[in-house]
């Protein structure tokens, strides 16, 4: 039971416009974040410097307010009231400039007042940063030498507070509000930028199925490779369709003759009144069927010779064995005509080839040689290999081909004017197309003593089959030519498998 192949899954329906829009938006957001981070860090640095200056001023101001009462008993109470007043003033006037402040007051080495949070050791003076109770503190100290009074004020030093001191409404809000306003024109820019692609799609959709004319070259260099690739594909499709159309027309023309022969002899067979007339009509009918079948086989072989290279898997092939097999099949063809076939084959010639296509090449070349060789003549087949490549030659003693016609005989259905041999005109085109898939070439030359010499050249393998062959092919023994008897003509494609 044949298993049905699963239908291909539908490709994801994604939008190139949204992809470009998303990329542009992501870049904008990333740049905005980098810019905002730079601005915030810069603002934090500015605020830190400002905080140090203001904290030093506040320490000196506190010392000035308490120095006159340094010797009195109410110094601690006065410091407490001063801090309360300071908290009110800070909250009203400059809470955005400095954070919550704590204060310590020493009279000499004695701690008189402690607002809390700072360590109990007497400060040395000036600005200081210290850790106490898991908190980072920025402190400023001032000392009055006359009264021996020392005041230390401090505030928590955190990046969060430094950032909180930044004017967020000034820095952050404009960017947040401008983001949608920037994305809206960005969407229109993306849509407008992709309009040429939509125009190309619209032009392709509006075409008739038979219109394979090239697209106009767009003015944008980014789209020129796309339209160039589409035009190249259309050109290849147009050439392929033209070849197939010509092949169908030529095939129909080629099949007209055998069909007419079949029709005429079928009518003669129906109208025949004697055994002799019936025999002649039957023979003509068989001739028409044979000719039609041969044309069909050649057409199929020509179509297969143009298969995609990926479908023709090449494997190491002993070309000598294949050649011996095909020559043995054709040796039976010339038995009644006295044609001898000589095979001069160098052993051990193994190449990466596609067996079926190479068999078609050999069959068509040998078929032509046997078809045009005169009775009692000889067909010589040689195979030789060296480091430069492999050469297969087939020589006959027939009429040959004039030099000016040797290029035209590779055109399908071309027949040499005045030729009386039967054929479809596809043998050499099949051979050349099949050789192309195997990396080989074919040439037509004059044979020694008259006739045609077909030369097939194949490239050397990447790894030589034997060291002796690659190093010194002239040292290999040369087998003597062998003459193979012939038999009545069968179809070369059906006589041997």
- The single-letter DSSP state of residue 450 is S
Per-residue pLDDT at 168:
55
Per-residue pLDDT at 370:
86
List CB contacts of 406: < 8 A, sequence separation 6 or more: 444
Per-residue pLDDT at 488:
33
Helix (H) or strand (E) holding 454, with range, is strand 452-458
Class of domain 224-304: mainly alpha
Measure the CA–CA gap between 326 and 445, rounded to whole angstroms: 22
List CB contacts of 150: < 8 A, sequence separation 6 or more: 63, 105, 106, 122, 123, 125, 141, 142, 143, 144
Measure the CA–CA gap between 497 and 490, rounded to whole angstroms: 12
CATH topology of domain 313-484: Heat Shock Protein 90 (3.30.565)
Per-residue pLDDT at 51:
77
Tell me the CA distances in angstroms from 57 to 116, 152, 398, 469, one per residue in order.
20, 11, 121, 101
In the chain, where are the structural domains located?
A: 17-170, 224-304, 313-484
Measure the CA–CA gap between 62 and 81, rounded to whole angstroms: 11
CATH topology of domain 17-170: Beta-Lactamase (3.30.450)
- The single-letter DSSP state of residue 488 is S
Tell me the CA distances in angstroms from 20 to 12, 186, 189, one per residue in order.
17, 10, 10
pTM of the model: 0.45
State the 10-residue block means of pLDDT for the chain, 497 residues long: 50 73 82 79 72 83 82 80 78 60 86 85 83 82 87 75 53 71 80 85 84 85 87 87 73 67 78 80 76 66 56 78 86 78 88 83 85 87 90 89 83 69 70 82 87 90 41 32 35 41
Measure the CA–CA gap between 32 and 40, rounded to whole angstroms: 12
Per-residue pLDDT at 305:
56
Measure the CA–CA gap between 288 and 261, rounded to whole angstroms: 5
| Terminal-to-terminal C-alpha distance of the chain | 28
Q: Which residue has the tokens 């998303």?
A: 22
Per-residue pLDDT at 55:
83
């Amino acid at each position: 039971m044949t298993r049905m192949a699963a239908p291909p899954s539908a490709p994801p329906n994604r939008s190139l416009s949204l992809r470009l829009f998303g990329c542009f938006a992501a870049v904008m957001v990333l740049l905005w974040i980098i810019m905002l981070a730079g601005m915030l860090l810069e603002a934090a640095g500015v605020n830190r410097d400002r905080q140090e200056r203001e904290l030093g001023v506040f320490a000196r101001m506190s010392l000035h307010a308490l120095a006159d009462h340094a010797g009195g008993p109410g110094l601690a109470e006065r410091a407490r009231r001063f801090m309360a007043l300071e908290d009110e003033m800070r909250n009203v006037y400059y809470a955005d400039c400095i954070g919550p402040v704590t204060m310590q007051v020493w009279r000499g080495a004695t701690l008189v007042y402690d607002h809390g949070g700072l360590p109990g050791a007497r400060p040395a003076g000036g600005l200081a940063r210290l850790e106490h109770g898991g908190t980072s503190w920025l402190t400023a100290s001032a000392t009055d030498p006359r009264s021996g009074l020392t005041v230390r004020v401090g505030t928590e030093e955190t990046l969060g507070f430094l950032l909180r001191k930044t004017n967020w409404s000034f820095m952050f809000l404009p960017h947040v509000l401008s983001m949608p306003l920037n994305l809206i024109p960005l969407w229109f820019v993306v849509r407008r930028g992709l309009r040429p692609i939509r125009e190309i799609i619209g032009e392709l959709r509006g075409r008739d199925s038979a219109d394979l004319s090239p697209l106009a070259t767009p003015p944008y260099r980014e789209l020129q490779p796309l339209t160039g690739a589409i035009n190249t594909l259309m050109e290849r499709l147009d050439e392929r369709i033209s070849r197939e159309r010509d092949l169908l027309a030529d095939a129909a023309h080629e099949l007209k003759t055998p069909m007419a022969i079949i029709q005429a002899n079928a009518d003669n067979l129906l109208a025949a009144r004697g055994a002799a007339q019936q025999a002649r009509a039957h023979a003509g009918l068989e001739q028409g069927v044979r000719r039609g079948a041969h044309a069909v086989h050649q057409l199929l072989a020509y179509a297969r010779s143009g298969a995609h290279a990926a479908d023709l898997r090449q494997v190491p092939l002993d070309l000598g064995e294949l050649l011996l097999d095909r020559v043995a099949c054709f040796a039976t063809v010339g038995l009644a005509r006295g044609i001898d076939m000589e095979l001069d084959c160098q052993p051990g010639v193994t190449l990466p080839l596609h067996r079926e296509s190479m068999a078609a090449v050999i069959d068509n070349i040998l078929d032509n040689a046997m078809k045009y060789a005169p009775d009692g003549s000889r067909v010589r087949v040689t195979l030789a290999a060296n480091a430069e490549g492999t050469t297969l030659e087939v020589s006959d003693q027939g009429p040959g081909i004039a030099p000016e016609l040797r290029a035209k005989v590779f055109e399908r259905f071309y027949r040499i004017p005045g030729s009386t041999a039967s054929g479809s005109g596809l043998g050499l085109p099949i051979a050349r197309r099949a050789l192309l898939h195997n990396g080989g070439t074919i040439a037509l030359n004059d044979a020694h003593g008259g006739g045609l010499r077909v030369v097939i050249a194949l490239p050397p393998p990447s790894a030589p089959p034997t060291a002796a062959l690659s190093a010194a092919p002239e040292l290999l023994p040369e087998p003597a030519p062998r003459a193979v008897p012939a038999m009545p003509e069968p179809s070369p494609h059906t006589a041997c498998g």
